[in-house]
Amino acid sequence: MNKEEFKASIRNIPDFPKEGIQFKDITTSLKNPECLKWAKESVVRLYKDKGITQVIGLESRGFIIAPAVAMELNAGFVPIRKPGKLPADVISIEYSKEYGTDSIQIHKDALTENDIVLIHDDLLATGGTIEAAIKLVKSIGVKKIYVNFLIELNDLKGRDIIDKDIEITSLVSF
Protein backbone atom coordinates (compact mmCIF):
# COMPACT_ATOMS: atom_id res chain seq x y z
CA MET A 1 0.00 0.00 0.00
CA ASN A 2 1.20 3.49 -0.80
CA LYS A 3 -0.12 7.04 -0.76
CA GLU A 4 -1.54 6.93 -4.29
CA GLU A 5 -3.31 3.62 -3.69
CA PHE A 6 -4.82 5.00 -0.48
CA LYS A 7 -5.94 8.14 -2.28
CA ALA A 8 -7.51 6.09 -5.08
CA SER A 9 -9.50 4.09 -2.50
CA ILE A 10 -11.42 7.19 -1.35
CA ARG A 11 -14.88 7.44 -2.89
CA ASN A 12 -16.38 10.77 -4.00
CA ILE A 13 -20.09 11.27 -3.22
CA PRO A 14 -21.55 14.27 -5.07
CA ASP A 15 -24.21 16.44 -3.40
CA PHE A 16 -23.83 14.95 0.09
CA PRO A 17 -24.86 15.96 2.72
CA LYS A 18 -26.37 18.71 0.58
CA GLU A 19 -26.25 19.89 -3.01
CA GLY A 20 -22.90 21.30 -4.07
CA ILE A 21 -20.82 19.38 -1.51
CA GLN A 22 -18.41 16.77 -2.91
CA PHE A 23 -18.12 14.38 0.05
CA LYS A 24 -14.92 12.35 0.37
CA ASP A 25 -16.03 8.98 1.73
CA ILE A 26 -13.33 7.04 3.58
CA THR A 27 -15.51 3.96 4.21
CA THR A 28 -14.20 2.45 0.99
CA SER A 29 -10.66 2.86 2.36
CA LEU A 30 -11.48 1.60 5.83
CA LYS A 31 -12.98 -1.67 4.65
CA ASN A 32 -9.63 -2.52 3.05
CA PRO A 33 -7.31 -3.76 5.84
CA GLU A 34 -4.22 -2.64 3.91
CA CYS A 35 -5.57 0.91 3.61
CA LEU A 36 -6.53 1.00 7.26
CA LYS A 37 -3.10 -0.25 8.30
CA TRP A 38 -1.33 2.19 5.98
CA ALA A 39 -3.30 5.16 7.38
CA LYS A 40 -2.59 4.25 11.01
CA GLU A 41 1.09 3.50 10.40
CA SER A 42 1.55 6.70 8.38
CA VAL A 43 0.18 8.86 11.19
CA VAL A 44 2.25 7.00 13.78
CA ARG A 45 5.42 7.54 11.70
CA LEU A 46 4.75 11.28 11.56
CA TYR A 47 4.33 11.65 15.32
CA LYS A 48 6.35 8.86 16.97
CA ASP A 49 9.12 11.22 18.14
CA LYS A 50 6.98 14.22 19.13
CA GLY A 51 6.27 13.21 22.75
CA ILE A 52 2.51 12.97 22.23
CA THR A 53 0.69 12.27 25.52
CA GLN A 54 -2.92 12.47 24.26
CA VAL A 55 -4.47 11.83 20.85
CA ILE A 56 -7.75 13.67 20.36
CA GLY A 57 -10.27 12.29 17.89
CA LEU A 58 -13.03 14.46 16.47
CA GLU A 59 -16.50 12.96 16.22
CA SER A 60 -17.11 10.86 14.38
CA ARG A 61 -14.63 9.77 11.74
CA GLY A 62 -11.70 11.00 13.82
CA PHE A 63 -12.60 8.19 16.23
CA ILE A 64 -11.61 5.54 13.70
CA ILE A 65 -7.84 6.01 13.49
CA ALA A 66 -7.10 8.14 16.57
CA PRO A 67 -7.42 5.41 19.26
CA ALA A 68 -5.16 3.04 17.29
CA VAL A 69 -2.61 5.83 16.84
CA ALA A 70 -2.82 6.62 20.56
CA MET A 71 -2.04 3.00 21.46
CA GLU A 72 0.97 2.93 19.13
CA LEU A 73 2.27 6.22 20.59
CA ASN A 74 1.70 5.03 24.17
CA ALA A 75 -0.67 7.96 24.63
CA GLY A 76 -4.22 8.36 25.88
CA PHE A 77 -7.28 8.96 23.71
CA VAL A 78 -9.58 11.94 24.25
CA PRO A 79 -12.83 12.35 22.30
CA ILE A 80 -14.24 15.68 21.17
CA ARG A 81 -17.95 15.07 20.68
CA LYS A 82 -21.19 16.68 19.64
CA PRO A 83 -23.37 18.08 22.46
CA GLY A 84 -25.00 15.68 24.90
CA LYS A 85 -22.59 12.78 24.32
CA LEU A 86 -20.05 13.34 27.12
CA PRO A 87 -21.22 12.50 30.67
CA ALA A 88 -19.09 14.82 32.85
CA ASP A 89 -18.56 18.61 32.92
CA VAL A 90 -17.72 19.92 29.46
CA ILE A 91 -16.47 22.96 27.63
CA SER A 92 -18.46 23.76 24.47
CA ILE A 93 -17.92 25.85 21.38
CA GLU A 94 -20.19 26.68 18.44
CA TYR A 95 -18.67 27.15 15.00
CA SER A 96 -19.49 27.55 11.32
CA LYS A 97 -18.69 24.99 8.67
CA GLU A 98 -19.22 24.75 4.93
CA TYR A 99 -22.88 23.73 5.21
CA GLY A 100 -24.15 25.26 8.47
CA THR A 101 -23.27 25.64 12.14
CA ASP A 102 -22.40 23.01 14.70
CA SER A 103 -21.12 22.62 18.24
CA ILE A 104 -18.52 20.37 19.87
CA GLN A 105 -17.52 19.60 23.44
CA ILE A 106 -14.62 18.22 25.46
CA HIS A 107 -14.50 17.15 29.10
CA LYS A 108 -13.09 19.94 31.27
CA ASP A 109 -10.67 17.49 32.88
CA ALA A 110 -9.58 15.74 29.66
CA LEU A 111 -6.20 17.44 29.36
CA THR A 112 -3.50 19.04 31.50
CA GLU A 113 -1.02 21.84 30.96
CA ASN A 114 1.73 19.23 30.53
CA ASP A 115 0.01 17.41 27.67
CA ILE A 116 1.37 17.35 24.13
CA VAL A 117 -1.63 16.60 21.96
CA LEU A 118 -2.30 15.37 18.48
CA ILE A 119 -5.76 16.36 17.20
CA HIS A 120 -6.82 13.94 14.47
CA ASP A 121 -9.74 14.02 12.05
CA ASP A 122 -10.50 12.42 8.73
CA LEU A 123 -10.76 15.57 6.60
CA LEU A 124 -9.77 19.22 6.43
CA ALA A 125 -12.18 21.26 4.32
CA THR A 126 -12.91 24.88 5.30
CA GLY A 127 -11.29 24.46 8.72
CA GLY A 128 -14.23 25.38 10.94
CA THR A 129 -14.29 22.14 12.92
CA ILE A 130 -10.55 21.97 13.55
CA GLU A 131 -10.40 25.67 14.45
CA ALA A 132 -13.12 25.05 17.07
CA ALA A 133 -11.31 21.96 18.39
CA ILE A 134 -8.06 23.90 18.74
CA LYS A 135 -9.88 26.65 20.65
CA LEU A 136 -11.36 24.04 23.02
CA VAL A 137 -7.95 22.48 23.63
CA LYS A 138 -6.29 25.87 24.13
CA SER A 139 -9.01 26.89 26.60
CA ILE A 140 -7.91 24.00 28.83
CA GLY A 141 -4.24 24.74 28.25
CA VAL A 142 -1.66 22.26 26.95
CA LYS A 143 2.06 22.36 26.24
CA LYS A 144 1.84 21.78 22.46
CA ILE A 145 -0.74 20.98 19.77
CA TYR A 146 -0.23 19.04 16.54
CA VAL A 147 -2.97 18.46 13.94
CA ASN A 148 -3.38 15.61 11.46
CA PHE A 149 -5.91 14.70 8.77
CA LEU A 150 -6.24 11.72 6.49
CA ILE A 151 -7.48 14.01 3.68
CA GLU A 152 -7.08 17.70 2.89
CA LEU A 153 -9.17 19.56 0.31
CA ASN A 154 -6.63 22.15 -0.85
CA ASP A 155 -9.04 24.40 -2.77
CA LEU A 156 -11.07 25.13 0.38
CA LYS A 157 -7.99 26.56 2.15
CA GLY A 158 -8.94 25.32 5.61
CA ARG A 159 -5.27 25.29 6.59
CA ASP A 160 -5.19 29.08 6.24
CA ILE A 161 -7.37 29.68 9.32
CA ILE A 162 -5.33 27.44 11.63
CA ASP A 163 -2.79 29.15 13.89
CA LYS A 164 0.57 29.31 12.14
CA ASP A 165 2.37 27.93 15.21
CA ILE A 166 0.55 24.59 14.87
CA GLU A 167 2.15 21.89 12.72
CA ILE A 168 -0.43 20.40 10.33
CA THR A 169 -0.05 17.21 8.32
CA SER A 170 -2.37 15.46 5.90
CA LEU A 171 -1.81 12.02 4.42
CA VAL A 172 -3.37 12.86 1.04
CA SER A 173 -4.81 15.94 -0.59
CA PHE A 174 -7.25 16.69 -3.37
Q: Among this protein's residues, is 61 annotated catalytic?
A: yes
* Residue 42 backbone dihedrals phi, psi, to 5 degrees: -65, -40
Q: Among this protein's residues, is 131 annotated catalytic?
A: no
Reduced to 3 states, what is the DSSP secondary structure of residue 36? helix
Say which of 41, 59, 98, 167 is annotated catalytic.
98
Between CA 83 and CA 40, with CA 90 as vertex, the angle to 5 degrees is 75
Say which of 34, 61, 72, 131 is annotated catalytic.
61
How far apart (Å, rounded) are the C-alpha atoms in residues 129 and 54?
19
Helix locations, the chain, DSSP H: 3-8, 27-30, 33-47, 62-72, 128-140
> What is the set of active-site residues?
61, 98
